[in-house]
Amino acid sequence: MPNTQKYFYQNRYPANLIQKRLLILISLVIILFNPSTASANPTQNIFGTWNSFMASGDFGKLSPDLKKFRWLIMDQVRTRDDSSKGSRFSENLLWLQSGYQINDYASIWLGYTHNWIELLDNSSLQESRPYQDLLINVPFFDSKILSRTRFEQRILHSNASLGLRLREWLQISHPVSFISDDLSIYAGDEVLFYLNRSVFGINGFAENRVLAGFMYNFNAHWGADLGYMGQYVVRENTSDLFTHNIALNFRYSF
């Protein structure tokens, strides 16, 4: 199988609305990871890191009429320990996105991701991912709930193969005020599906990501997140993959 196919087949509003989406997500996770429906393939476990820097803001400084239009830039470097030589660089992803704040709870976004991929045999690939987001961010007692629905179009540069992927992410964060007013804990889950079969993966459920950790705001502009990202990937004709990652993100808000 060519390197391209080998790589991708192996890696493949208000509160009541949030509650409905939460129930749907929980139901999907229960169905997909029920022993009767889970993959019979054994699972390969590897470790890695996801390190990123994110900057965000709005266009209000250009004009008060643009205050609700927002932007975000993020770069992330990923490593894996799947080499006999130990940890290695595996991916670099650059996100560029712009959005509109509909109200206090909801926003819509258009974005683009460029992905540089280093394969285990030292060959490399590049990928483009246009995407569209719906974000809903609401308070829940003392916590905050963030829901994101993303539809992305994965395009491999080497052969223009197109993979259509739907992603549903839900995260809750809660302040740890007895330690610091600037410290919060978070936990979340993301389920990923392909809507077609391509070199990126099979049609249907492809991946689940679970995350948990700490968020700290140093001041009004700077903050950092440190936690765990568990990435379970369904693979065809080989063992499934579970990557256990330390995730560190620095963020700056203008």
Regarding pTM above 0.75, the answer is yes
**Pairing relation of β-strands 43-58 and 240-253?**
parallel
Q: From its phi and psi, is residue 102 left (phi > 0), alpha (psi between -120 and 50) or beta? A: alpha
| Position with higher pLDDT, 201 vs 183 | 183
Decide if pLDDT at 223 tops 80. Answer: yes
The CATH code belonging to domain 3-253 is 2.40.160.40
3: confidence class by pLDDT, cuts 50, 70, 90? low
Is the predicted pLDDT of residue 13 greater than 50, yes or no?
no
Cα–Cα distance, 54 to 95 (Å, whole number): 9
Q: DSSP letter string over 89-114?
A: EEEEEEEEEEEEE-SSSEEEEEEEEE
Residues 6+ apart with CB under 8 A from 159: 4, 199
- Domain range summary for the chain, segments of one domain joined by +: 3-253
Residue 122 falls in which region: left (phi positive, over 0), alpha (psi -120 to 50) or beta: left
pLDDT band at 32 (very low <50, low <70, confident <90, very high): very low
At 16 the pLDDT is 55
